[in-house]
Structure 1
């Protein structure tokens, strides 16, 4: 095929990165060939990030594609052997019966049962600080709550700009980092057998929707006797884009229309709709972002009593597992001074994308005896198993 020929051509005579700079485009072309890059990676990635792939840092590919290769994809496509399947291609998952929200409800219950408090509906304006020490949090109503240590998951840019006495260099760097927004359009479809996949990625540039998730395929226990399927259509945009300011009626209509154009369901089958907007949910790995992030990291490392974690808080394109792991290691740093470098999570921790999936849908370690990460991975899995029981 043309994709295979393009791959061979790239291996024989590779394209040189522009001015020696490695971008998402050059990284993927080098690994998969230009043809596959153009028909599979390019349109979806530019829809997600809102910038050309030539302006997107290669870190996005390194973190999300990593050791996955064209050879592994072809092997999976033509082989019936499912043992040792790469995590990227897994088709079986360990999933809570009523959705991932169950995990966080259990966490909240555990905190409450052990003397802690969970405050809902309590917007935080900023991290309160005195000199180079975090002293608590300032709430939206102006009240200040004092704490010995603050763990922040609020968007890194907003957190830094809310601190007192930040240097002009760090302020400028924080203002230059960018996030993408997500609009989720939920549609209740009068059909329980729409398609077999958990989610579908939409590569067509003719459609604004980027991904469609079918929650019935994740957990039919949510539906009881209902003969319908709830789909979530994801639209990505910047805050300045017209789409972000559109009303719910327009967005639900757009979702119905694009679902029909994709051939997945008729507009008539789409019953109720609901819209949820999420601001600053994708940290944009534009070229040069690491140079902007470094002075911010150095500055925050010097502030006592403050830890930043999570996708928003650390400006990392984390999955839930990365962020939960950051929380576990942050707790160890606070409790016993373990000294884990949390900036490394989803950057240097190799197990994240080289793990294999067992028949239960859970991750197991590869044969990497003596890896410095094995103990961390095992404790992370033990914590996940514990959370499933409490």
Structure 2
């Protein structure tokens, strides 16, 4: 008799969808109020995201982990190709157009899952000693972090480059690196910060200048007004004037946190932040369960750190505590790239959790 292997459900982490689905549902409510067309497109992203999740959930990752380096280097080749065959949009060359179909892909988004998988693969093959990685091993792993960082930075895309850099070293911090190495890095960064600032592009310097100036930019002003307009419990749809009259820019993506504040007030924003906090805390708590499973630990911590960076920067940006950059809220801001990327992340994570008892990836078992 062939039956479904119930161990898959036993090891499947149901807490993750329990915390993610309310964020997606709330996002869809807000986006449908602004534009029915965007809401319909969001259904398409939901469908693609679910298929991507299902693909990576069923993919025998542990069984074919020897392919991870190949996918990493393929993505590096795509990043290099941007320099020669890339398509420019809004002054940045970040996309590659697929011939004949006129569809573009953004290699800096595609590389994120393979980047974390590559780190997990390297750390799994060479786990840290009790006092953490020494300088030699740290430099070896740093090469795989800095290579995509510099290629993406050259596009230029400082935001995505920094996300990969911080995520990579955040994972290493949790996994374990000798403390002397971190102290040395902090000292070097402190001394070289003026040189790093001078190397920034003019538009990047302007963002920093706007941030530290006494008068916030127009976008931030309207965002703060929208949040203040929501008060404690928010305004009805017709009274959400900042969004209704289009004073609030990019209300469905970059500044959707401000729109959520205008519609559902302090309580709505507190609910959203609480969902994110619980999700990140839950992911970090898995370190105890996955103590010796370095591949799963790297993916788990990488997702948690990346989400924390996205959320912190986006929310800080909307209230004037950070420069305005195009970093979305995971599962909340409108857009396909971010949503599909995080569905890919969680598909990989659930795969590593659900099938950790069976490297053959058998969904069914036969009882005779």
When normalised by structure 2's length, the TM-score is 0.24
More helix, by proportion:
2
